[in-house]
A and B are shown apart, each in its own frame.
Chain A
Amino acid sequence: MGHGRYIAPAFGGGVHTVGAGERLVLDFVILPGQSQDLRVEVDLVGEGAEVTLRGLWLCPADERVSVTVRVHHRVPGCRSSQLFKGIVGGTASVRFDGTIIVAPDAQQTEAYQENHNLLLSETALVETSPQLEIYADDVKCSHGATVGRLNEDELFYMRSRGIPEADARILQMISFLSPVTANLSETQKADIESALSSML
């Protein structure tokens, strides 16, 4: 990413416009107990604009969380990359709507979006709906969404090596979130880890 102006990393939701050669990095973290309706909108309006969006939600109890993300590629040669991960338990419910819009003129667009969720209970609910609206023909786009559970084979493997069950589950959750948390501050990482410990 050696070119262009770097826009300082932002945190949370809001509407953002990214111009030619600029790069935006936006992270958000939704901690336990924070029911909210988070909306993020990014307009890529200048050639070569780039955005990286990363976010996570931890909803172990009865949270109601809605995350809506729209990334609009309006001009050619822009790049967007989105990764969101969530851990949802109790009777919490999470709705994720992610839309990538590629305008007819926005050739050579690269746009990626992924959303992965772990369910900790039978009663937790995740609805994830990734959408692509592509009106240009020379683009590289992909999206993917999964909803799964902690892997029981991994858990037994760790326990058979002497790692207690609770520690093993926390290790699994930390590793699940690591692609999203890798660039967060140490304070934020510590907040997330202590939230995970209280989620079991």
Chain B
Amino acid sequence: MADILLDIRNLHARVEGKEILKGIDLTIRRGEIHAVMGPNGAGKSTLGAVLTGKPGYEVTEGSVSFAGRDLLAMAPEERSWAGLFLSFQYPVEIPGVGITNFLKTALNARRKAQGLEPLKAPEFLKLMKEKMALVQMKPEFSKREVNVGFSGGEKKRNEIFQMAMLSPVLSILDETDSGLDVDALKIVADGVNTLHTPETSAIIITHYRKLLDYVRPDVVHVLKAGRIVRTGGADLADEIERDGFDKF
């Protein structure tokens, strides 16, 4: 069996004093794709936020180890350098900051943390061009400000583009399928499948089975009221699509 990449044990977390995660246990090995499904308010997005270190999310109990390190002790940027990536459910607009400058700053900050020289401009531009093609983004997107004036579908594609640029070890896709038409969904799914390797893993947080038709998960979890109430194979997603979440 492959190495354990992420090990979540008895994770409790609260937001604004309210307990949202009530004891999550989840183990992900390298190469695995896990889906976390559940109704609104189950704690799915909270799980993504806690794993990436969003301020305001307080862990009250439990531990998370990521590639052998104590994830919860790391700052959000350190988690990124270690290979964690979150595709945001609602990508943030950053007026005045161009996509090219944004990603160059991000990539070079990580290189600096790893003791590497900054990427030279031609290398960086070549990488951008290659990864933009992967998600079928037009070259002129590189001149735009981060997410400003993007449609819902463009924002989600921009998330997958950034994921491609940062080549994470563990990607968390938070409702990446919401608001996408079938064509955009296929582009996003192709991107995710292309970037997937035997060394990298993904957590797909979703409400519906849609995306899972294109990216087949190895393991499916049902999250409800802050706990994982059922774990199964890909066929569990079919069962949910047919019967809903009520029976769990």
Do A and B actually bind?
yes
**B212 CB within 8 Å of chain A:** no
**A161 CB within 8 Å of chain B:** yes
Give the interface segment out of B88-96, B136-144, B190-198. Answer: B88-96
Instruction: Indicate whether A154 sits within 8 Å of B94 (C-beta atoms), given known contacts A161-B106, A167-B109, A171-B105.
Output: yes
Q: Is the CB of B55 within 8 A of A158?
A: no
Interface centre among B52, B55, B94, by most chain A C-beta atoms within 10 angstroms, is B94
**A186 CB within 8 Å of chain B:** no
**A190 CB within 8 Å of chain B:** no
Which residues from chain A contact B55 at a C-beta distance below 8 Å? 152, 156
**The residue from A152, A154, A165, A179 contacting B77, defined by CB atoms under 8 A apart:** A165
Q: Is the CB of B94 within 8 A of A162?
A: no
For the A-B complex with A163-B77, A163-B106 known, give 18 more contacts whose Cβ atoms are closer than 8 Å: A153-B92, A154-B92, A156-B55, A157-B91, A157-B94, A158-B106, A160-B77, A161-B80, A161-B102, A161-B106, A162-B80, A163-B105, A167-B105, A171-B97, A175-B96, A175-B97, A178-B96, A179-B96
Q: How far is the CA of A161 from the CA of B88 in the complex (A)?
A: 11
Q: Is the CB of B88 within 8 A of A157?
A: yes
**B228 CB within 8 Å of chain A:** no
B interface SS class: helix
**B76 CB within 8 Å of chain A:** yes
Interface residues of A (CB under 8 A from B): 152-154, 156-165, 167, 171-172, 174-176, 178-179
Residue pairs across A and B with Cβ atoms less than 8 A apart, 25 shown, are: A152-B55, A153-B92, A154-B92, A154-B93, A156-B54, A157-B88, A157-B94, A160-B54, A160-B77, A160-B79, A160-B85, A161-B103, A161-B166, A162-B77, A162-B80, A162-B81, A162-B166, A163-B102, A163-B106, A163-B109, A171-B97, A174-B96, A175-B94, A175-B97, A176-B96
**B75 CB within 8 Å of chain A:** yes
Interface residues of B (CB under 8 A from A): 52-55, 75-77, 79-81, 85-86, 88, 91-97, 101-103, 105-107, 109-110, 113, 162, 166
Which residues from chain A contact B86 at a C-beta distance below 8 Å? 160
Q: How far is the CA of A174 from the CA of B102 in the complex (A)?
A: 12
Q: Is the CB of A160 within 8 A of B80?
A: yes
**What is the distance, in angstroms, from A194's C-beta to the closest C-beta of chain B?**
17
Interface centre among A159, A165, A174, A175, by most chain B C-beta atoms within 10 angstroms, is A159
Which residues from chain B contact A153 at a C-beta distance below 8 Å? 92
Q: Is the CB of B94 within 8 A of A160?
A: no
Q: Is the CB of A160 within 8 A of B52?
A: yes
7 smallest beta-carbon distances between A and B, as pairs: A175-B96, A162-B80, A159-B76, A157-B92, A161-B106, A162-B110, A162-B106
**What is the distance, in angstroms, from B49's C-beta to the closest C-beta of chain A?**
9
**The residue from B53, B77, B96 contacting A164, defined by CB atoms under 8 A apart:** B77
Residue of A nearest to B111 (CB): A162
**What is the distance, in angstroms, from A177's C-beta to the closest C-beta of chain B?**
9
Interface centre among A161, A164, A167, A172, by most chain B C-beta atoms within 10 angstroms, is A161
Which residues from chain A contact B93 at a C-beta distance below 8 Å? 154
Interface centre among A156, A167, A176, by most chain B C-beta atoms within 10 angstroms, is A156
